[in-house]
Chains A and B, each alone.
Chain A
Amino acid sequence: MTVIEKQTLIGKAIPKLDGPKKVTGEARYVQDIELPRMLFAKILRSSRVHARIVRIDTSAARKLPGVHAVITAADTPGVPLGHGKDNPPLKSDKVRSLRDEVAAVAAESEDIAERALSLIEVDYEDLPAVFDPNAALLDDAPVIHESHPDNIPFTYEYSQGDVGQGERDSDVVIEDKFTLHFVTHCCMGVSGAVAQFDADDNLTVYSQTQVPFLYKKDIAPIIDVPPEKIRVIQPSIGGGFGSKLDIYPFEPICILLARATRRPVKLTFTREEEFLASPTRQPVELTLRSGVKKDGTLTFRDVATVHDNGAYTSWGATTPFVIMQTISSLYRVPHCSYRTTVVYTNNPYSGSFRGFGNLQATFAVESHMDKLAEAVAMDPLAFRLQNAQQPGETTPQGMVFRSCGLAECLTTAAERSGFVEKHARYSRYGRGQNGQGGPVKRGVGIASLLHVGGGAKIYRSDGCGTMLKIDDYGHVTVLTGASEIGQGSETVIAQFVAEELGLPISSISVVNDDSELTPWDVGVHASRTTFIAGNSAQRAARKAREKLLAAAATKLELSAEELDLREGNVTRADTGEALLELPRLIRSLHFAKKSEVVMTAEYYEPPSVPQDKEFKGDVSASYAFGTQVVELEVDTETGVIRIVKVTAAHDVGRVINSLGIQGQIEGGVAMGMGYAISEHLLVDEGVIQNPCFRDYKLVTAPEMPEIDMHFIETLDPEGPSGAKGVGEAPAICIAAAVVNAVYNATGTRFDSLPLTPERVLRRLKNHA
């Protein structure tokens, strides 16, 4: 008798499914797509930050041999795009920022297209411009959009409790102002698209979108093609991080050129263009006032922010949704109020970027927490623990923490890094009171985070569909709506399915790149894929499992409860005795009198609810927590900060793939470090000064610190096998931990970023 032990794939280091095609160069990205008769497109962008377009003359460009189409706003349906629907793909009346698209060309080569651009004549009449959001709020400020004479596309207001009461209850009140800068995604694969119409006017777009189904609906009116005639194919995507959540002008332009020429058209950015014309993380000015009692209890928090929206409204304008969560609910605060003004300027516009406003909010809140702790003479850990959220809590904003590992994250990160002892010791040394006389000062800093970990119900549905079939060789094809943008969703989905069906991972293929085949999904955002697509896949596989076990039970004259699926066999559940090979069972179903195929479908809708008009409600099905402790050195002579070690404890619900989750944390730490110490998109009067990797500093391999990771498994009751999403979390709190550590080392506190050597040095000098 053959006995098969029960094995589990959950928590295992399963290799990445798309690894082989990516390590061999076989994976095809948008840049690699080539279709017969394909043309190449280029975009002419504004040379002014704010100006009226007086005249566009494309006649010389049209005459250039090899040019097949030149389009301007007159050739478009004139429907604006983007989250705010205020951004025409090609501008007609005026330009509002340097990246503005004015005309576009399709030609037989990129060189010809480039030459054609130089032949297009545009006459502008300059308008007064405004770059500082506070200046844009003044009465006599230039108006960016005539529809919004006050330059304010959005405001948000939230409150809980009574801030006045909170203030009266406080022994100490502190107010601080924090200023956050422009950074950008820097996906290693630049933006691009390929569009093609067939003879029947069906459109196929090879797109990098991370939201393929909403994309169809959103792009349809802009290009005047009904959504049902649009097929979205997603080649391998060279990095997303939120940048591909919205539609930007280049895609409709590419499609409109394909329609004008009746030929496939490819449009890809250069790296410089990627810096100049892709979205940014939104700069925020945040004023935070809060109070505390002598015993360390938080009493209130009062926050006002001003967001530089740039010239158009993409997702950056909606980050207050996330910012207010951290302000209201990372720690217990009975009284809270929050006001945001989102302001149009002639700067680059902001999109969604991993963390979605939370890097800015957490930077402010967690810097401020250290100051409050100091004000009541508590150590930063004890102060945070005293105010930390607990499992089972419903916050005043309506979030329900069905699982919550914040306290455990705090204690684990602190204990494993020796935080309390080091913090006390370094703060004595750093201030020069007790040895450590050299120019290099050491410090430790701590910070925590709260982020959605089970999607966010910002649409009517936050669900995901799965379809699954098993062929007569026991091979499973999973069609999922969830997009793979490098994060590893494909592998995690395969693990859930293989686990339910007792199959090796090699028996699973995942199809996730073609809207013609895959079922609906909201897209990759809000750290939702493992949670929502995972739940969906797990449930579809469970249905298939039940079907198989019921058929096997009939065939073997046993009950389904007595049976299990293991390693491609039907076995006895108790002894593991192998009874029947899975392919044979499936063939017997195909060939039975009443034959059937093994196919299942599932649509998983999480139990979250949309927020009400006051921004209250349990918007995610799960919430992720984490704490990071940073240990660093500040060279007070050069201003150079060297991050020595990051101790990261994250409430991940449950580890599904140990390597995948480590990868998210390591990558998030690197990205958060860049935000904290090196990355700065320098925008001067609307002009980006450093559109290249030489001058925009990403973190490189030698700068990576030791990372000590700890996974806090709180087994979320709604998560698939207990898991929650962790895609965004690791990038969120490191900047605050860095600033707290620099204060610990030097006694100087920074209220803006990044801590580049020049800025650090200048500040330390002024401080001394």
Chain B
Amino acid sequence: MSLEKEIHFRVNGNLTSVEVPVTMNALAMIRDRLKLTGTKRGCEEGECGSCTILVDGVSVNACLMFAVDCDGRDLTTIEGIRTAEGLSPLQKLFVEEWAVQCGFCTPGMVMQGTYLLSQNREMSVEDIKRGIEGNLCRCTGYKKVIAAIAGALHATPRRGEEKEDS
């Protein structure tokens, strides 16, 4: 039996605690324990970006992070991006621009886009392309994903999207 550890953290604003095997990765914890299945498992090898989440505001491949390392951190998954007010400006643009086809890469793309927008609101198209280099998409050819992120630069940022001074 592998060793279990109890950890406490915030996910999408709520405090949570779970007991997880020390060998479990954060993606398995998020999907299989917390049942937040919006975060996708595309490869589990850090190669596709489908599992992108924010940890303390920084984008991370959840499959490359140990679950126990979430202890004391602040996690945002795709389920935390739409608020009671509705879709985030970036999510709206993904829908309007058809940045979505099969949609499997989409949660990861939205998370990465959200992260990029929180870091730099003066990105060039080249910056955006490089910023999503680690997110694979087999359907769209990336063009509309890039357009959606570029479009969001001109939309009013929402909480979580502004650059946080720290």
Contact = CB atoms under 8 A, between A and B. Distances in A.
A521 to B, nearest CB: 19
B137 A20 contact: no
B138 A671 contact: yes
A270 interface: yes
A238 B146 CA distance: 20
A693 B101 contact: no
Nearest to B144: A663
Interface stretch (B54-62, B65-73, B78-86, B152-160): B78-86
Among B87, B98, B105, B137, max chain A CB count under 10 A is at B98
A692 B45 contact: yes
Interface residues of B, number: 54
A551 interface: no
B41 to A, nearest CB: 6
Contact of B38 (A24, A187, A189, A665): A24
What DSSP secondary structure best describes chain B's contact surface? loop
B102 A239 contact: yes
Interface string B127-166: 0111011011111111111100000000000000000000
A115 interface: no
A236 B139 CA distance: 14
Nearest to B136: A698
A693 B110 contact: no
B145 A701 contact: yes
B141 A669 contact: yes
Given A238-B103, A486-B102, A700-B133, A23 B138 contact: no
A694 interface: yes
Contacts of B74: none
A24 B95 CA distance: 10
Interface in A251-287: 270-271
What DSSP secondary structure best describes chain A's contact surface? loop
A239 B94 CA distance: 18
Given A188-B42, A694-B45, A702-B133, A25 B37 contact: yes
B6 interface: no
A488 B102 contact: no
B25 interface: no
Contacts of B141: 663, 665-671, 699, 704, 707
B39 interface: yes
B144 A23 contact: no
A700 B141 CA distance: 8
Given A188-B137, A239-B102, A239-B139, A25 B39 contact: yes
A31 B133 contact: no
A25 B43 contact: no
B156 to A, nearest CB: 18
B9 interface: no
B18 interface: no
Contact of B129 (A19, A488, A665, A701): A701
A638 B35 CA distance: 47
A660 interface: yes
B50 to A, nearest CB: 6
B114 to A, nearest CB: 11
A29 B135 contact: no
A27 interface: yes
Given A702-B130, A704-B142, A704-B143, A29 B43 contact: no
Contact of A707 (B37, B39, B79, B143): B143
A337 interface: no
B19 interface: no
A693 B48 contact: yes
Interface string A660-692: 101101111111000000000000000000001
Contacts of B146: 701, 704
A663 B98 contact: yes
Nearest to B81: A24
B82 A24 contact: yes
A205 to B, nearest CB: 19
A701 B142 contact: yes
Interface string A157-169: 0000000000000
Nearest to A18: B103
A266 to B, nearest CB: 12
A452 to B, nearest CB: 21
A344 B95 CA distance: 45
B128 to A, nearest CB: 8
Contacts of A13: 96
Contacts of B20: none
A19 B102 contact: no
B48 A26 contact: no
Contacts of A186: 138
A24 B96 CA distance: 14
A25 B36 contact: yes
A22 interface: yes
A186 B81 CA distance: 28
Contacts of A694: 45, 47
A701 B133 contact: yes
A271 B36 CA distance: 20
Given A25-B38, A707-B143, A189 B98 contact: no
A24 B101 contact: no
Nearest to B95: A19
A237 B142 contact: no
A511 B143 CA distance: 29
Contacts of B77: 25
A188 B144 contact: no
Interface in B91-114: 91, 94-98, 100-107, 110
A487 interface: yes
B98 A702 contact: no
A241 B44 CA distance: 22
A32 interface: yes
A469 interface: no
Given A25-B36, A701-B145, A704-B129, A20 B87 contact: yes
Interface string B2-46: 000000000000000000000000000001000111111111110
Contacts of A671: 138, 141
A19 B37 contact: no
Contact of B40 (A31, A659, A701): A31
Nearest to A28: B37
B102 A238 contact: yes
B158 to A, nearest CB: 14
Contacts of B130: 701-702
Contacts of A699: 141
Interface string A1-36: 000000000000101101111111111110110100
Contacts of B140: 663, 666-667, 670
A188 B129 contact: no
A188 B136 CA distance: 8
Given A15-B96, A23-B106, A32-B37, A487 B101 contact: yes
Given A23-B110, A239-B104, A659 B79 contact: no
A389 B89 CA distance: 47
Contact of A29 (B78, B104, B133): B104
A700 B100 contact: no
Contact of B95 (A15, A26, A187): A15
A444 interface: no
B138 A241 contact: yes
Given A486-B139, A693-B136, A700-B142, 20 more contacts: A18-B100, A19-B94, A24-B38, A24-B87, A25-B37, A25-B77, A27-B103, A188-B104, A188-B105, A188-B138, A188-B139, A189-B104, A190-B42, A271-B43, A486-B101, A488-B101, A663-B140, A666-B143, A670-B140, A692-B43
10 contacts: A28-B37, A238-B103, A662-B98, A662-B144, A670-B140, A670-B141, A692-B43, A692-B45, A693-B43, A700-B142
Q: Which 6 residue pairs are nearest across A and B when measured between Cβ atoms?
A: A25-B38, A486-B102, A22-B103, A19-B95, A666-B141, A238-B104
